[in-house]
Amino acid sequence: MSLDIVEIAVGDRTVGLAVARPVGPPKAAIAFSHGAFSAPGKYAALLEGWAAAGLLVAAPLHVDSTDHPQRSDYDQGAVWRTRLEDQAATLDWLAGQGAFGLAAAGHSFGALLALAAGGASVLAPPGAPTLDARVKAVVALSPPPATPPLISAEGFATTSAPLLVQTGDADVLPGFVDDWRQRLIAFEAPSPGDRHAIVLPGVDHYFGGLICRPELPGPAQAEGLAQAIAASVDLVLAHAADDASALESLAARAADPSFTTR
């Protein structure tokens, strides 16, 4: 399996979508946002894992990526606005591919975009798209804690879509996130109901270099990534595809000490 590149127009910009396609008809679809300075291709193991489970995945190359050919044309203020625009356009593109439910997902900085699409209250420039009623599930992989002015602690509380937050007990970035528990605010702040968190033992911010920063020496945390993929597939199929067996599988995860539901 490999990622296809599809170019779409977003205002006066051209945005490349890395697309991972399932073998058969998609059961649901995910718009995925990469971490700061990274790129969709650096998440191939994740995107292809979702596609192998029957999901159509599209991931835009944001302008802050070190792989973006026009990166120098955009200042920091433009990064957040264009990311929001990219996510909305990606959801539009996915909606045009067939009659299946949509989900939003992201890693690290990208997780804030997915949360915004699911109802979290983020700082947004006038007219920039945030909440998207089409989004039936949100997967926030290693989201940041409160990061004013982009999002306050209270901003996480308005998330309304069914939610999975993933972190690991080695998921720290010294000087920014000194305790992995800080990442759970995205799970703890919204009102109870269809909120799930998975805390993977031994897993760091990059799954040992399997996502976001493939240049890291590892060791690769493949078992942890497989667990994150499986749990997120359950969430997306349960809520974006109305899959009763996925909903049962999600409920059964309550027996796993790494998994919490509220």
Average pLDDT over residues 8-34: 97
Residue located via tokens 């127009």: 9
Q: DSSP 3-state assignment of 55?
A: strand
What percentage of the chain carries pLDDT values higher than 90? 92
What confidence tier does 65 reach under pLDDT thresholds 50, 70, 90?
confident
pTM to 2 decimal places: 0.97
Classify domain 4-261 at the CATH class level. Answer: alpha beta
Q: In this structure, are residues 211 and 107 in contact, taking their beta carbons and an 8 Å threshold?
A: yes
Q: DSSP 3-state assignment of 241?
A: coil
pLDDT for 209:
98
Average pLDDT over residues 27-43: 98
User: Who wins on pLDDT, 67 or 142?
Assistant: 142
The CA distance from 41 to 59, in Å, is 9
CB atoms within 10 A of CB 214: 16
How high does pLDDT run on average in the chain? 96
Whether the predicted pLDDT of 71 surpasses 90: no
Query: Hey, what's the torsion of the CAs at 133, 134, 139, 140, to 10 degrees?
Result: -40
The CA distance from 84 to 247, in Å, is 29
Structure confidence by residue, pLDDT tens digits, 182-216: 999 999 999 999 999 999 999 999 999 999 999 99
Q: In this structure, are residues 50 and 18 in contact, taking their beta carbons and an 8 Å threshold?
A: no
The pair of structure tokens assigned to 227 is 């667990």
Structure confidence by residue, pLDDT tens digits, 84-132: 999 999 999 999 999 999 999 999 999 999 999 999 999 998 889 999 9
- Please tell me whether the peptide bond between 149 and the residue prior to it is cis, using omega within 30 degrees of 0: yes
Residue 77 CA neighbour count, 13 Å, CB half: 2
pLDDT for 79:
87
Q: Please name the helix (run of DSSP H) or strand (run of DSSP E) that holds residue 92, with its range, or none.
A: helix 76-95
The CA distance from 134 to 88, in Å, is 10
Average pLDDT over residues 152-156: 97
Average pLDDT over residues 9-38: 97
The amino acid at residue 71 is R
The pair of structure tokens assigned to 60 is 């835009």
pLDDT for 1:
59
- The helix/strand count (H/E) of the chain reads as 6, 9
Average pLDDT over residues 217-245: 98
